[in-house]
Structures are given as C-alpha cells and as structure tokens.
C-alpha cells in the first residue's frame, strides 16, 4: 500500500507485533515519503520515525515497523523547528 493512504490515528506496531503508538502526522512531499510522527503515550511529544523504519502498511489501518516496539519507544522526542 502507498504511504499516501496513512492517516492520523492509525496504529503503529513494532517488528515484534507489539503496539507502539498512533500516527500523529505523515511526513513527505510529492511522492517522497520521509517518515512518521507517532505518539507513544498520552502525554509527551511525538517521536519521529524515518521512512526506512516503516516495513509495511496494511489495509486495516496499521503500520508495521522494521524495528522492535522497545526500539521505537526509545527514539528521541521530536522537537519542532523554531519559528523565525
């Protein structure tokens, strides 16, 4: 499936099948997919996943990663760029 179909709220699971979080935002431009911002818990900033960490997108509204759920939860929190 195309990354263009991913929507906010889709479930994100690790390569081990364990729940990681939910899609907050899809990052890309034109036909170039750069990654996803995901929320791993109710409070806290989203975490950035690069496109190469996405292994599969399925029709059920789920994104499977190429890294484990533990690895995904250890990613640094995303800091939005400062406005000028």
Contact 20, 73 (CB under 8 A): yes
- Give residue 47's region: left, alpha or beta (phi > 0; psi -120 to 50): beta
Does any domain span residue 82?
no
Q: What does pLDDT average to over the chain?
A: 89
Residue 84 has pLDDT above 60, yes or no: no
This prediction has a pTM of: 0.86
pLDDT band for 83, please (50, 70, 90 cuts): low
Q: What is the pLDDT of residues 48-69, one digit of tens each?
A: 999 999 999 998 899 999 999 9
In a domain, 78, yes or no: no
Residue 3: pLDDT over 80: yes
Q: Is residue 57 part of a domain?
A: yes
Q: What is the CATH number of the domain that holds 28?
A: 2.30.30.240
Split into its structural domains, the chain has a count of 1
Residue 12 lies in a domain: yes
Residue 42 lies in a domain: yes
Q: Which domain holds residue 30?
A: 3-73
Is 81 within the bounds of a domain?
Answer: no
Q: Residue-wise over 31-50: b if at least 16 C-beta within 10 A, else e?
A: eebebbbbbbeeeeebbbbe
For the cut 90, the answer to whether the pLDDT of residue 36 exceeds it is: yes
């Amino acid at each position: 499936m195309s990354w263009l179909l991913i929507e906010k709220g889709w479930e994100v699971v690790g390569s081990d099948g364990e729940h990681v979080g939910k899609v907050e935002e899809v990052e890309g431009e034109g036909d170039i997919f750069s990654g996803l911002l995901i929320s791993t818990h109710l409070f806290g900033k989203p975490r950035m996943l690069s496109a190469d960490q996405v292994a599969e997108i399925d029709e059920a509204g789920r994104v499977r990663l190429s890294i484990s759920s533990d690895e995904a939860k250890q990613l640094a929190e995303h800091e939005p760029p400062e406005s000028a």
